[in-house]
Amino acid sequence: MTILVIASQKGGVGKTTVAINLSYSLAVRGHKILLVDTDPQGSVGLSLSRGARERYGFYDAIAGIKTVEELIVPTRLAEFKLMTSGKSEIFSDDSVQGNGKRLDRVKNFFDILRGQGNDLVIVDTAAGIGGITSDILKEGDSVIIPQQSEPLGVRSIPQFLKKIVRIRREGAEVNVSGILMTMVNPHQRESVESESQLRSALPPGIMFQTSIPRDSVFLRASSLGVPVGLLSRNPVPAAVAFDQFAAELEIKLGLSNNIEKDNGVKGLLD
């Protein structure tokens, strides 16, 4: 089993969009996926289910209120399960946070998931790399860094990579799967130039060849509570991009696939 963390130095780069649509694309390709939302805003659950705010989830497991097993939510796609973020305000209690308890509880959480029979656990995180996200990265096997294709955004990449190096020096084994360019607008000069400059500045292989376009279809998918791959029988360009990204990630992680599509336009949860 691989623990794949989606993390970024700054917010608004499309972490949740990547987490949901990558999870779905990999599940369609035959992989057993568990998507875990650790962002206190609960964006994954809210994007897929109207009842997400009422669900217990990750933070309830960390606080010891619920067991990991009872928090895993099946979807209509058998290979795709998820866990919402739950009641994050509970986790602010000093009795949970102090004296290294947080790190121990995060480690125990992922130790339990390692025995659940998933191929990949994909973890959506809050913006930044401090706090509980740092603890999650220490348990992760690999990290994907979504990066919005705009000038100010790309400047945060070197800082993020330095923090990953620091975490590895502290004993973590997490590797960087790659940087994924998001919200790329081929009709906007600044967007195209930002992507080009970053690709030329970084070592070959650290950036995914696939880019995710800026597309209003993601808002439509979120309003309907589905990944973009379930919007229509004929896949929209954004869905094709995520299929290509999933195929590229399979190669990087050494995964095989067993593609079996279901083109029914139904919500995964509601």
pLDDT averages per 10-residue partition of the chain, 270 residues: 93 92 96 95 82 82 92 93 84 54 91 93 92 93 92 76 91 93 90 88 90 93 92 92 96 77 55
Asked whether residue 262 is assigned to any structural domain, the reply reads no
Model pTM score:
0.90
Establish if 126 belongs to a structural domain: yes
Residue 83 maps to a domain:
yes
Q: Answer yes or no: is 138 within a domain.
A: yes
**Residue 54 forms part of a structural domain:** yes
Q: Kindly list the distances between the CA atom of residue 212 and the CA atoms of 3, 18, 140, 145, 215, in Å, as whole numbers in the listed order.
A: 22, 9, 24, 13, 9
259 within a domain of the structure (yes/no): no
Asked if residue 260 belongs to a domain, the reply is no
Shortest CA distance to 246 belongs to which of 263, 228, 220?
A: 228
Q: Is residue 266 part of a domain?
A: no
Number of domains in the chain: 1
Three-state DSSP at 137 gives helix
Q: In which domain, by residue range, is 118 found?
A: 2-253
> CATH number, domain at 210?
3.40.50.300
The predicted pLDDT at position 265 comes to 45
